[in-house]
Amino acid sequence: MTEKMVSETEGIIKVQRVTAQSPNAKLEIIRRRTANFPPSIWGDRFANYDSQDIITNAENQQEVNELKEIARREVFTTSAGDFSHQLKFSDAIQRPGVAYHFESEIEEALERMHAAFRDHDFSDDGDLYNVALGFRLLRQHGYKVSCDVFNKFKDENGSFKECLTIDVPGMLSLYEAGHLDVRGEEILDEALAFTTTHLDSTAQAHGSYEHAEQITQALERPLRKDLERVCARRYMSIYQDEASHNEALLKLAKLDFNLVQSLHKKEPFH
């Protein structure tokens, strides 16, 4: 059996079907409607990449290079011996997706963190937030870190201390660390159950709480299960509202994000 188009009128295609399996072949006309798709609502918005884009990207790239040096001085050089500061900014650099600009600096910072965890040398920075954050960062990068570091946050009954629930940043940090458990690490399973329950209660009871949005997002999409670029965009909105944010780092993250988006826009033209 073969088909061939005979004509097309008013959005209808006429197809002639010929059955050639018998001496008395029959001709059959089939009416098929054409696919009259409406114009795309996006128009040619994503089909343009002109010279102005190239100029803008070149200017942004130059500013990115300048901001990298500023961030490198402020984040890594100025506070090299500040354990808490190094932890916080190592996380702040990785979550918005600009860690690839500071790979050697981050590696050095992680080595110092690993030594501190190995020797249990946290000085005055051994609170829940710092311990959980350091644990997560090290495990994310493949370092072997014992989950026993969290035993200090348990009471005499072997349960996590109830007083920890008022430390929301610490609870969020422990919640994210709990997703990096391996088989048999019961303390991390307990940590995840403990933090999930209390963070959910906090978000529901205090909808206008300053960390409410961050809690809701974390419970829906923990870092371990999130998409890196989606996480980067969302984290920038959170980071810019923090009073202690680093302005150079925030601006670098935004420019870098736009440059990557522009690169994706340019790719179809090559």
- In order of their start, the domains of the chain are 2-33 (no CATH), 64-269 (1.50.10.130)
For residue 53, pLDDT beyond 50: yes
Report d(CA 241, CA 210) in Å as an integer.
Answer: 10
Q: Report percent pLDDT > 90 for the chain.
A: 41
Residue range 19-26: mean pLDDT, rounded: 55
- Residue 154 has a pLDDT of 95
Residue 152 one-letter amino acid:
K
Residue range 103-112: mean pLDDT, rounded: 90
Residue range 150-177: mean pLDDT, rounded: 94
Q: Is 175 exposed, middle or buried (0-12, 13-18, 19+ CB in 10 A)?
A: buried
**Tokens of residue 225, six digits:** 């299960």
For residue 120, pLDDT beyond 80: no
Residue appearing with tokens 């130059």: 62
Q: What are phi and psi of 118, to 5 degrees?
A: -65, -40
Alpha helix positions (H), the chain: 51-71, 83-94, 103-119, 128-140, 168-178, 186-205, 212-220, 228-239, 247-266
**Quick one: pLDDT band at residue 162, thresholds 50, 70, 90?**
very high
Residue 140, Cβ neighbours under 10 Å: how many? 16
Instruction: Give the SS3 label for residue 33.
Output: strand
Global pTM? 0.75
Question: Contact at 8 Å (CB) between 11 and 36?
Answer: yes
Question: Contact at 8 Å (CB) between 254 and 237?
Answer: no
Residue range 71-85: mean pLDDT, rounded: 75
**Quick one: pLDDT band at residue 177, thresholds 50, 70, 90?**
very high
- Residue 146 has a pLDDT of 92
Cα 231 to its chain centre, rounded Å, is 2
Residue range 131-145: mean pLDDT, rounded: 94
Report d(CA 216, CA 202) in Å as an integer.
Answer: 10
- Report the DSSP beta bridge partners of residue 9: 12
- Which range is most confident: 82-86, 175-179, 198-202? 175-179
For residue 6, pLDDT beyond 50: no
Which of 121-125, 180-184, 191-195 has the lowest average pLDDT?
A: 121-125
pLDDT, averaged across the chain: 81
Residue 128, Cβ neighbours under 10 Å: how many? 22
